[in-house]
């Protein structure tokens, strides 16, 4: 937005006017994510830990086989430790009782790769493992851009140029000239889905899409006469 503030000097200097022009500049770029993270949880349940582990192992082995067939390397795949929790029976009202009926074991996979296309393609295909009867939960992939710090510097520069261009147009029409930059306030980056108009005071970082729009805003105040 554009806002012109005029401040009158003291009464003993009636001809002296101190004027300032506040201008907001913005810049937007389309980027493509260069890093993806995909998480898979495998569970195994059974009446005792031995049977639960057997089910879990079958699921873990199948997920490992699946990831290898999609050409993910050992460096890109990490596995968490196995967690265990007891499973209790429920009464006819659906309330959990103190009767122990088995155990649930869980192990997580994290696939981190700069081959974002491979993860985007593989994530929907993991449903075939669920159809085989394995207890698997596949989370939505998260997509990131690793050079965001360098991009931020460039975009703040672009937004500042936009603000200066707007200011030049205003002062030219008004027959004035810019004397100095008095204040500068940089807004946080908004990293959103393409064509989104979402804005947050703390900044947005949407990880759901490979392609993203990055928006930078700079508010400058110029001295004019």
pLDDT above 50 for 12: no
pLDDT for residue 16:
43
pLDDT for residue 67:
98
Distance, in Å, from the CA atom of 95 to the CA atom of 90, rounded to the nearest integer, reads 5
pLDDT band per the 50, 70, 90 thresholds, residue 19: confident
Is-contact 109 63, C-beta < 8 A?
A: yes
Mean pLDDT of the chain: 91
pLDDT for residue 4:
44
Rounded mean pLDDT of 164-192?
93
Alpha-carbon torsion angle 73, 70, 144, 196, nearest 10: 180
Distance, in Å, from the CA atom of 142 to the CA atom of 33, rounded to the nearest integer, reads 10
pLDDT above 50 for 6: no
pLDDT for residue 174:
87
**Considering the entire predicted model, what is its pTM?**
0.83
Q: Which of 16-30, 73-87, 128-142, 147-161 has the lowest mean pLDDT?
A: 16-30
pLDDT above 80 for 1: no
> C-alpha distances in angstroms, 168 versus 74, 157, 159?
56, 16, 14
pLDDT for residue 18:
63
Percent of the chain beyond pLDDT 90?
A: 86
pLDDT for residue 225:
85
pLDDT above 70 for 132: yes
């Amino acid at each position: 937005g554009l806002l012109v503030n005029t401040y009158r000097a003291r009464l003993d200097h009636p001809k002296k006017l101190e004027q300032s022009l506040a201008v907001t500049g913005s810049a937007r770029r389309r980027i493509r994510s260069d890093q993806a993270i995909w998480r898979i949880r495998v569970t195994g349940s059974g009446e005792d830990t031995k049977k639960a582990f057997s089910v879990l192992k079958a699921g873990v082995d199948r997920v490992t086989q699946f990831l290898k067939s999609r050409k993910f390397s050992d460096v890109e795949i990490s596995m968490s430790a196995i967690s265990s929790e007891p499973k209790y029976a429920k009464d006819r009202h659906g309330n959990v009782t103190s009767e122990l009926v088995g155990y649930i074991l869980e192990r997580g996979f994290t696939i981190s790769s700069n081959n974002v296309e491979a993860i985007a393609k593989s994530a929907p295909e993991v449903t075939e493992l669920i159809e085989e009867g394995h207890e698997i939960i596949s989370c939505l992939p998260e997509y990131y851009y690793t050079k965001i710090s360098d991009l931020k510097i460039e975009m703040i520069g672009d937004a500042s140029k936009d603000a200066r261009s707007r200011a030049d147009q205003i002062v030219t029409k008004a027959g004035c000239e810019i004397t100095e930059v008095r204040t500068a306030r940089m807004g946080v980056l908004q990293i959103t889905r393409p064509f989104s108009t979402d804005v947050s005071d703390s900044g947005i970082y949407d990880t759901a899409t490979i392609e993203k729009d990055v928006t930078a805003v700079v508010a400058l105040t110029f001295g004019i006469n």
